[in-house]
Structures are given as C-alpha cells and as structure tokens.
C-alpha cells in the first residue's frame, strides 16, 4: 500500500499545476512530465523496495496521471473554446478512430519491452519538432468551410496517433498537434486548442485500461486535477499573448528537450 504524506499531497497539486500549464500552453507534454513528477518530485517511487513493487508503482503512476491528464485536457479545452481556439468537428473526426487505436495500443503496450521503444519515440519526437519548425503557418480556417481538411486523412491520422498514445501511456499531444497540422487547415494555435479534445479522450481511454488492472489511484488524480485547473487557466492567458511564430518555436524546442531527456533516461 502506498502512503502519501501531507507534503506529498501538496507537491502533487504543484505537479498538477505544472502539467496543466504546459498542457494548455503547448497542447501536449503533460503526461510525459506527469509520471516523472509523481515518481521523483512527489517521491512516490521511494516506496519501492523491490523490482516487482517498483514496476507496480510505475504502472500506478502511468494509470493515475493518464486519468488526471485526460480530464485536465477536457477542462483546458473549455478555456480554449471560449477564446475560439477549438474546432469541434475536426476534433471529433480525429478522436473517434483514435479511441480505438488508443485502446489497442494501451492493451498491448504493457506486454512489450519499453526502453528500446521509448528511445525510438524520443528520436521520433525530435523529428516531429523539426517538421513543425520547417512547416509554414497555414491560413486561418474560414467558418464557411464545413471541415478544415480531408475527413479520411484526419480520421486515419487520429487512429495511428491513438495507437502510439495508448501504447506509450501518454496523452499524445506531441503527436496530435503535428498530425492536425498535417491533416487539417488549422493554424498552430487552433491545432493546439483542438488537440485537447483528443488528448482528453486518449488519456481517459488509457486510464481505463489501467483501471481494469487496479492501477489507478483516484486521490492522486484528483490532486493533479486541482493543480491542473489552475495551471490550465494560466496557460490559456499566456497563450493568447504569444506571437504564433514564437509559439511554434517554443513548442518545437520543448519537444526536442523532452525527446533528448527520454533518450537519455532509456538508452543503455
């Protein structure tokens, strides 16, 4: 049984604030930070005294933070919607096939060796960052258009991103935003806002798979949500004051930094 002190409760809220801020500001990265924050900043990993317990706690961290990040993303999407940064139709078309992919990915991910896959994922993140940096800002989507992009391409992108999202146990914002930029005519800031629909759905789907194995701590998820609500509100305020070109650079640099960190932590 995992015992959490009063200080750890407080640190969980602080961690949630950081996750919510980044999730709202960049449209991804929340779940990637959520797990290491819970294990090493909050100190949950200190309870592990054997390899088996260590593995169980890490699974618990993934499941609990996936639930928190998923709900957090939906809350942040409301903030973005009020600022006109969310396109519901494109988000739903991307998300529905992605739910199936997320479930399949989460179901198979736990049975495979993770380190080698995460190293590859880290390099993939860096490649995505350079793609975002090299891509030109798309023209604003006009309301008279029914769908900002090709429906089949949007749905197919959502399915494959969902597989990776569930497999790696992350919300998938790092993949969702570039995929939306590729498959739709949305601008960067609108892709970020719209991506939160999918981040929320994929995160909750991943958490559901872990719930089936009793690997979700609802108290931890609630604490993350409290901090995430505050961080998400702050992130939206900052996002709408940032130049779109600067926002793209911030996003790409952040993806590169996390990609390098993941490679460093998992390479032998």
Asked if the structure places residue 141 within a domain, the reply is yes
pTM of the predicted model over 0.85: no
pLDDT at 102 over 50: yes
Asked if the structure places residue 1 within a domain, the reply is no
Segment among 89-93, 205-209, 238-242 with least mean pLDDT? 238-242
Domain count, the chain: 1
Question: Which domain does 225 fall in, by range?
Answer: 6-266
Confidence bin at 178 (pLDDT 50/70/90): confident
Asked if the structure places residue 191 within a domain, the reply is yes
pLDDT of the residue at 139? 53
HEC letters along the chain: CCCCCHHHHHHHHHHHHHHHHHHHHHCCCHHHHHHHHHHHHCCHHHHCCCHHHHHHHHHHHHHHHHHHHHHHHHHHHHHHHHCCCCCHHHHHHHHHHHHHHHHHHHHHHCCCCHHHHHHHHHHHHHHHHHHHHHCCCCCCCCCCCCCCECHHHHHHHHHHHHHHHHHHCCCCHHHHHHHHHHHECCCHHHHHHHHHHHHHHHHHHHHHHHHCCCCCCHHHHHHHHHHHHHHHHHHHHHHCCCCHHHHHHHHHHHHHHHHHHHHHHHCC
pLDDT of the residue at 156? 92
Asked if the structure places residue 122 within a domain, the reply is yes
Asked if the structure places residue 197 within a domain, the reply is yes
């Amino acid at each position: 049984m995992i015992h959490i002190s009063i200080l750890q409760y407080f640190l969980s809220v602080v961690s949630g604030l950081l996750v919510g801020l980044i999730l709202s500001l960049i449209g991804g990265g929340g779940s990637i930070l959520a797990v290491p924050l819970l294990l090493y900043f909050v100190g949950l990993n200190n309870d592990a005294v054997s390899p088996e317990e260590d593995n169980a706690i890490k699974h618990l961290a993934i499941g609990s933070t996936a639930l928190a990040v998923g709900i957090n993303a939906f809350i942040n999407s409301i903030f973005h919607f009020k600022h006109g940064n969310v396109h519901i139709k494109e988000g739903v078309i991307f998300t529905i096939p992605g739910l199936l992919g997320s479930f399949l990915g989460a179901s198979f991910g736990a049975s495979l060796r993770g380190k080698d896959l995460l190293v590859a994922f880290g390099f993939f993140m860096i490649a995505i960052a350079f793609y975002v940096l090299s891509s030109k800002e798309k023209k604003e989507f006009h309301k008279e258009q029914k769908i900002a992009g090709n429906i089949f391409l949007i749905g197919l992108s959502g399915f494959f991103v969902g597989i990776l999202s569930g497999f790696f146990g992350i919300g998938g914002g790092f993949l969702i935003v570039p995929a939306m930029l590729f498959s739709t005519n949305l601008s960067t800031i609108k892709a970020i806002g719209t991506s939160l629909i999918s981040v929320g759905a994929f995160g909750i789907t991943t958490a559901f798979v872990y719930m089936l194995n009793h690997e979700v701590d609802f108290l931890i998820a609630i604490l993350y949500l409290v901090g995430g609500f505050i961080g998400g509100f702050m992130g939206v305020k900052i996002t709408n004051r940032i130049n779109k070109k600067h926002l793209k650079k911030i996003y790409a640099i952040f993806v590169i930094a996390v990609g390098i960190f993941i490679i460093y932590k998992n390479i032998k």
